Amino acid sequence: MKPDFLSRIDATAMLDDVQKWCAINTGTGNIEGLEKQAAALADAFSTLPGEVELVDSAPVTGIAADGSEFEIRNGRHLVVRVRPTANRRVLLTGHMDTVFPRDHPFQQLKWLSDDVLNGPGVADMKGGIAVILHALRAFEASGKAASLGYDIMINSDEETGSLASAALIAELARGKIAALTFEPAALPDGTLAHARGGTGNYSITLTGKSAHAGRNPEEGRNAIVAAADLILRLKALEGDDITVNPAKLEGGGPNNVVPDHAVLRFNIRPKSTDAMERFDNALDEVLHEIEARHEVATRRHGGVTRPPKPVDDKAQRLFDLVKECGAELGQDIGWKSTGGVCDGNNIAACGVPVVDTMGVRGGSIHSSDEFLIVPSLAERAALSALVLSRIADGALAGDLN
């Protein structure tokens, strides 16, 4: 029989929240929209018995096409702390930003059927934020809440790698026995993401020497040629446990000038921590070789932003608990490994067991076809609230303490 406290989950109120929040454009670079969303979330989460705070983003820089470093602005992050002195505490995370900037044509909600809503962020992940809020409201009425404290973080930059919130995630993960992240389910049937690979983004600036391509080309040092050589050397570092994707090469100028400048941008996808560290060390050696071979200077920016997320015994116990709770509610919960990444990678790197797709069922995220299966709002809120009640009862204590 379903516990009585789960009857407090109001599916209509959850849908109302999603619709209100999706009406606010929160593309990662839309600071005004993110501030409006953060204020709305602060008000909504103030109904929980904790301290609500809006935390400034950490400084983040990028590399312009000319090789100069510039500041990237990000919105503030929502943090809620409930029972911070409790002996047993967990972390719940989500994000308020989407991949749709304010000038993107995809801004409106549309019903595709009675139970399917199309719109920006409905699944990824304003639906997930509604799951967090309403699951916690139900949990607070369970009679178990006094035994469990928790922190909530809703960041403003997840879609661009959480560079402005990574330190905050690490701080909040410290001392937690488990974490739940509310990205949408890996598949529309509710399947969870299991192990994940990692990701890293790099920009390499190459500086050579310009010269006339006809009169004295031998005096030049061609940055584009050096960058082309670098691309081939980077691809040679690929293996079964890592891929390298050279994504963009910028630089050069008139055809009659030896180009003295280039910026190469690339992404890596390591499947293991060993592959991540091996690549990072090899990159330094490759850059030294490029400098010597082409007589250019190089400067690297960036690195791994999301370490690989293996599933160890402690994390598997958390997955098993979610599955057990799902079975009690008539939900068949499975999981599969995926190449995608999220804040769950960052949390796992802190040594905290995490299930990071506790959000809604839906699909086609990051596209104008993104959809939410509306009944999953209440389904996943009930699942999360029940998992929290089991953790409060000590379901994980023997494995995770």
pLDDT, residue 339, reads 86
Using a 10 angstrom Cβ sphere, with 0-12 exposed, 13-18 middle and 19 or more buried, the burial of residue 59 is: exposed
Rounded Cα distance, 55 and 388, in Å: 25
pLDDT per residue as tens digits for the range 115-124:
999 999 999 9
Rounded Cα distance, 362 and 369, in Å: 10
Rounded Cα distance, 228 and 351, in Å: 39
pLDDT, residue 2, reads 86
pLDDT, residue 401, reads 42
pLDDT, residue 65, reads 96
Q: Residue 56 carries which DSSP code?
A: P
The string over 129-153, giving b where at least 16 C-beta atoms fall within 10 Å of a residue's C-beta and e elsewhere, is bbbbbbbbbbbbbbebbebbbbbbb
Task: Give pTM, 2 decimals.
Answer: 0.96
SS3 at position 41: helix
Residue 77 forms beta bridges with which residues? 55
Rounded Cα distance, 141 and 139, in Å: 5
Rounded Cα distance, 47 and 143, in Å: 17
CATH topology for the 199-306 domain? Alpha-Beta Plaits (3.30.70)
pLDDT, residue 400, reads 44
Q: Where are the domains of the chain?
A: 4-196+309-400, 199-306
CATH architecture designation of domain 4-196+309-400: 3-Layer(aba) Sandwich (3.40)
Segments in the chain below pLDDT 70 = 398-401
Chain-centre distance for alpha carbon 351: 17
Rounded Cα distance, 354 and 366, in Å: 23
DSSP labels for 64-78?
Answer: -TTS-EEE-----EE
pLDDT per residue as tens digits for the range 89-124:
999 999 999 999 999 999 999 999 999 999 999 999
pLDDT, residue 398, reads 63
pLDDT, residue 1, reads 74
